[in-house]
Amino acid sequence: MDTNRRSTTVIGLLYPGEMGAALGRLLRSDGLRVVTTLQDRSPRTQTLSRDTGLEELGSLAAVVRTADVLLSLVPPTAAVAVACQCRELLAEQPARSTRRIYVDLNSISPVTAGQIAEVLAAAPVDFVNGAISGSAAYLTSRGVVYLSGPRAARVAELLPKAVAVQVLGDVPGQASAMRMLLSGLAKGVVALFVEMALAARQADILEPLLTAYQTSYPGILEVVERSLPTFPRHAVRRGQEMAEVETTLTHLGLCPAITASIREVIAAMGNLWQGKDENRNWSVIDVINDLHRRQLLQQPRAEM
């Protein structure tokens, strides 16, 4: 795409939470105009928007009217509702020679992506299904944005140059499936590790087991060390995400066995912590000791 066409494209960012602000900052540093609205948004989002230097419009209607490409980055549970709000506003817009694009970048299952495609089907907009792998803090070093849908290649050209982007195909839902299957493996590794480490804690061999894992499976330990210390804060959300992974597998025609157990273990961790310890810096051993103290996996599964 020529540079001029790219720089005149207006991005409507819904909304600058953690990931939206990270992406918005990169889009702005690429020279794109990024607009948002803070109508109905909390003080946190207002602060993030101002820190990111986004152009703030008075309403969602003004964003929809102004933007060529709308990016949805909201809690997965709000993804369909935000698409519905945009559809109502898009229906009121005069026709354009180049249709707008609505990109959902939320961590949703392909089933939910299909619902959004249906919501937008009659609106004057093209839907691109997207999904971000990696955290906002490491978007440029470890993040990958997956895209699918007929105009995914056009969106790939617009996304920040500093972020890896992969177009998977023409079918909305492929990007969501990719994200779900990547996150299912990462969470599964952590859940299996927790089960083994709690058994080691019972046998009083936790530290030697960690040393042996480090020697034999350094790659797996790297995943655990990066991810497990963030579970006290995020286990509730990750349990919900595992439910979406399970839905994805069912949607794809499987009867998942291991996936269901991973969801149970992570949901049980979420029930124990409820995100209360978010200000503490945890080590892997801290997490295992805390889960042992809270008796995770010490009751029959139905009672977890």
Q: Give the footprint of ligand NAP on this chain (CB under 6 A).
A: 15-20, 41-42, 44-45, 73-76, 78, 81-82, 106-107, 132, 135-136
CA dist., res. 127 & res. 171, Å (int): 10
User: Minimum CB separation from ligand NAP for residue 98, in Å?
Assistant: 26
Task: Tell me whether residue 29 or residue 46 sits nearer to ligand NAP (CB atom).
Answer: 46
User: Minimum CB separation from ligand NAP for residue 294, in Å?
Assistant: 26
Task: Tell me whether residue 70 or residue 74 sits nearer to ligand NAP (CB atom).
Answer: 74
Q: Which residue has the tokens 């020679």?
A: 97
Question: What's the maximum distance between 2 C-alpha atoms anywhere in the chain?
Answer: 69
User: Minimum CB separation from ligand NAP for residue 128, in Å?
Assistant: 15
User: Minimum CB separation from ligand NAP for residue 43, in Å?
Assistant: 8
Type of residue numbered 304: M
Task: Tell me whether residue 45 or residue 109 sits nearer to ligand NAP (CB atom).
Answer: 45
Give the CB-side neighbour count of residue 263, counting CA atoms within 13 A: 16
Task: Tell me whether residue 48 or residue 288 sits nearer to ligand NAP (CB atom).
Answer: 48
The angle formed by the CA atoms of residues 246, 135 and 30, to the nearest 5 degrees, is 125
User: Minimum CB separation from ligand NAP for residue 204, in Å?
Assistant: 36
Task: Tell me whether residue 139 or residue 197 sits nearer to ligand NAP (CB atom).
Answer: 139
User: Minimum CB separation from ligand NAP for residue 72, in Å?
Assistant: 8
Distances (CA, A) of 97 to 68, 124, 135, 156, 170: 11, 11, 36, 21, 22
Task: Tell me whether residue 90 or residue 200 sits nearer to ligand NAP (CB atom).
Answer: 90
User: Minimum CB separation from ligand NAP for residue 41, in Å?
Assistant: 4
Q: Shortest Cβ contact with ligand NAP: which residue?
A: 17
Task: Tell me whether residue 25 or residue 201 sits nearer to ligand NAP (CB atom).
Answer: 25
